[in-house]
Structure 1
Amino acid sequence: MTEATDSTDSDTLPLQEPRLWRDGQWTARVIKNEEDDGWAVEMTRHGDPEPALVGPWTMGRDKKNPKPLDGPAFSTLVKTAAEVIRRHEQQLHATLNKSVTVTARNDQRVRVALAIVPDEDSPSATLTAYDDADDSELASVNVSPAFRLTASSAAAWIESDYARPR
């Protein structure tokens, strides 16, 4: 008879200890603060290489050891860490995706979008023009990821009949 194996990773099983709480997505770990005599808590999303959030943690009543983690604190930490990740993703998206709307020579409103694809070996970018009235694509070209999209560069591209910018 063969023994059944549990395919669940023990690092993601729920756990509730005074200095370590874990649910299906997050791990909270109370750690010694290296910069002073206090304590810190780190929140790590499962599968991420480093914590999403590291912050100070409250001392316990003995003023020597950390206050134990509990359910309400863990819930608050999860919400805060998820918000940090969400804001980071929004910032990254805004850095990689820009758009401006300009008026072309025939009074047509054109939205020009720059989408950058970061890649260590071969980054790329695409410049795309859309009719602002119906969002139909007017033109699209590959450009350098270093291309700076401004109202004037968008207008110049439109004026060139969408020739690839240099």
Structure 2
Amino acid sequence: MLTPLPLQLEVITFDIRQAINAKLYYPALLVTLTLPEICAGLTLDKSQFVKQKQYVEFVDSYTRPEELGLDGISCYQLRGGLVHRADLRAHPYFGGTHVIFTTPESRGSTHGFSIAVADKSAAMFDLVMMSNAMIEGARRWYGDNSSNQKVAENLAFLIRSCPNGLPPFVAGFPVVASGV
């Protein structure tokens, strides 16, 4: 049995699923691939940044390669291409000329393999399977970190919906904000 996520992280995983349901695949994938950074960042002081080492350690420790479809370093490279260039294969060390994700509308699901055609190659994944694997990884991570005082402190600062504003700054209308 996996440890339930605290509400602050559960909202993020809910948003991933809602984005997929709304066919907003780019935001769903973006948040999915940054989930390791969010979790790893919860263990750090505000002055520290998540680096490749922490990202890879999260993926390799808390996700299962057969479910995620790739290992930590490849996932980090995929994330780097997406976050910094909106190009999944843009990281210079991520092999392949293409990256393809099947979606719920696809006639089939392909996940965690590559295909080569002439001088081109594509890494292929299923968006729902990858998102689910990363969410389950976050649950495993939280099981190991639920009593970490730094995590408890930092959870209060995660981005969230504030239906009535964030007093004393704004009140009476919905905003998305962070901070306590």
TM-score in terms of structure 1 length: 0.23
Larger CA Rg, structure 1 vs 2: 1
Higher relative contact order (CA 8 A, sep 6+): 2
Question: Where is the helix percentage greater, Structure 1 or Structure 2?
Answer: 2
For normalisation by structure 2, the TM-score amounts to 0.21
Higher strand share: 1
